Structure 1
Amino acid sequence: FRFLYYLVVVWLVSASDAKNCSEPPSVDNSIFVMHEVEGQALGTYFCLQGYHLVGKKTLSCNAFQDWDTPTPTCHLGHCPDPVLFNGEFNSSGPVNVNDKVTFQCVDHYILKGSSWSQCQENHTWVPPFPICQSEDCGPPENPTHGYFEGHDFNSGSNITFYCEKKYHLVGTQHQQCVNGEWSSALPVCEPAPKTEFEKALLAFQENKNLCQATESFMQRLKESGLILEELKYSLEMKKAELVAKTLL
């Protein structure tokens, strides 16, 4: 025979307070306990043994003497049914307290988390349910002022990161997809450090005293070991860059 349990109501407030609220919504297989907190009438649902609550546990009686919604329900099983997308577990029916389930993922997915969980007295699972993560990585984000080369993001594939001109890469340039994750943290592109000539030229431009600026400029070039031929080449490159910009 199948027995169906109905709502049992327990009033822990005065009779007058109880009359001020409408009859609580019926929830099968539960006990409803009404109590008062700082003048506010509250009602809490407790599921019978072998059932677990789904929804809001405690309702309040509003100014219109109605209970707020939505109403919870009591589902069969001491704990909620296990859930594992792209995976399998060894439970097929209502769960009882202390029941343990084990998890595994389908092909091409990797288990992240514990391979088992146990139903507790308080209707929760410990440890938490794992997830099944694809063994493929998916395309990474381009670093700011950079990009990557590679079109295959499956497990075992490789990609290479590069930076735009005047930026240099900080981090791992060559990376591989391993167990659904790239082998290292994604790199970043930072401004490339200035050459000694660029530093000397910047100091020259910022100094308003022409004689002092020229003397300081030549001294820095001498200290850096930059010869006149190298200086001439650097200036020609700068000139070419400026011409190219004006033509754009």
Structure 2
Amino acid sequence: MFFWFMCYLVDMWLISASDGNCPKLPPVDNSIFIAKEWEGQILGTYLCTNGYHMVGEKTLFCNSSKGWNASVPECRLGHCADPLLVNGEFSSLEPVNVNDTITFKCNEHYILKGSSWSQCLENHTWVPPFPICKSRDCGPPENPTHGYFKGTGFNSGSNITYYCEARYRLVGTQHQQCIDGEWSSALPVCELFRKAPKPAELELEKALLAFQKREEICNAIAKFTQRLKKSGLTMEKVKYSLEKKKADLKARMLLGHCS
């Protein structure tokens, strides 16, 4: 109590040292208040004593032209903050003490996302964090770029079908269903069809390919002829040498067959 009183005196001194536009903050039961001046503003922090938890803003600041930014908080009985579950209920409404465990349950047409229980720890926190109750119905689905869907109603069990605009094809799952608040598959995409080449374009491509192969053959022949000239040979000598090797090979094959 003495410590709280001293902190409150410091608070009053800081406020009186300002321009006087900040109203006096009332004391909060079961709390300690600490105030200080920071960058031309008055900052006040409430700390709940052991066995109580805070409801509201912990730190308030006073602007000389606007006053305090929020209303005074409360320190309520209980070691951890009161449990909260929108569209659901929990097992206990009594003040929470350390090591207390509560369980959660969602209302009809809602599904629990997260842990079904939580425990109050010594550091005034709940672990695991509170879950949420999510509607079993799905929100309106998105439209893919250059695409759209068909289907009415987005409640649980509803079906939709995706389509693409002309010249686009669907990549992904076309038929989807709303299951426990989520659509059964990821959003598909619409890809642009690659334009098919015309017959004339195909013939031109074939002609260019053939010309390229012909050019490669001609280059190979030209290089071979240049090597013959450098070595002093002629096409006739090469032809004669090849014919002679061919005859020798036939003779060896005949001899090997007869033996």
TM-score, with structure 2 as normaliser: 0.63
Instruction: Name 1:20's counterpart in structure 2.
Output: 17
Which SS does the other structure have where 1:10 is aligned?
Answer: helix
1:4-51 deviation per Cα after TM superposition (whole angstroms, max 9, x unaligned): x9x933339699768637864311221223457789764421112232
1:190, distance to aligned residue in structure 2 (A): 2.2
Tell me what 2:110 maps to: 109
Query: Comparing both structures, which one devotes a greater share of its residues to helix?
Result: 2
Structure 2: which amino acid aligns with 1:108? H
1:219 matches 2:204: yes
Instruction: Give % identity.
Output: 62
Give 5+ residue unaligned stretches, structure 2.
Answer: 209-259
Q: Counterparts of 2:180 and 2:205 in 1: how far apart (Å)?
A: 52
The reply on whether 1:126 has 2:127 as its aligned counterpart is: yes
Structure 1 CA distance for aligned equivalents of residues 11 and 48 of structure 2: 24
The aligned residue for residue 169 of structure 2 is 168
Of 6, 16, 36, 1:10 maps to 6
Report the 3-state secondary structure (helix = DSSP H, G, I; strand = E; otherwise coil) of the residue aligned with 1:8: helix
Distance in 1 (alpha carbons) for counterparts of 2:53 and 2:4:
16
User: Given that residues 10 and 34 in structure 1 are in contact (C-alpha distance below 8 angstroms), is that contact kept between their aligned partners in structure 2?
Assistant: no
Q: Residue 17 and residue 143 in structure 1: after superposition, are their counterparts in 2 closer, same or farther (change >3 A)?
A: closer
C-alpha change, 1:196 and 1:122, in structure 2 (3 Å) is: same
Q: Is contact 1:10-1:32 (8 Å) kept? A: no
Cα 1:69–1:92 change in 2 (3 A) is closer
Residue 167 of structure 1: how far off its partner (Å): 0.8
| 1:196-229 deviations in Å (ceiling 9; x for gaps) | 23xx8xxxxxxxxxxxxx8x67413779xxxxxx
- For residues 83 and 125 of structure 1, the distance between their equivalents in structure 2, rounded to whole angstroms, comes to 11
Structure 1 residue 166, shift from structure 2 partner:
0.6
Alignment of 1:44-123 (within 5 A): 44-60=45-61, 69-123=70-124
Cα RMSD after superposing both structures = 3.6
The reply on whether 1:190 has 2:187 as its aligned counterpart is no
Q: How many residues align?
A: 202
Rounded to whole Å, the distance in 1 between the matches of 2:104 and 2:157 is 25
Q: CA deviation at 1:178?
A: 1.7
Structure 2 residue identity aligned to 1:219: L
User: Secondary structure of the equivalent of 2:5?
Assistant: strand
Deviation at 1:62, TM superposition (A): 6.1
| CA radius of gyration, larger in | 2
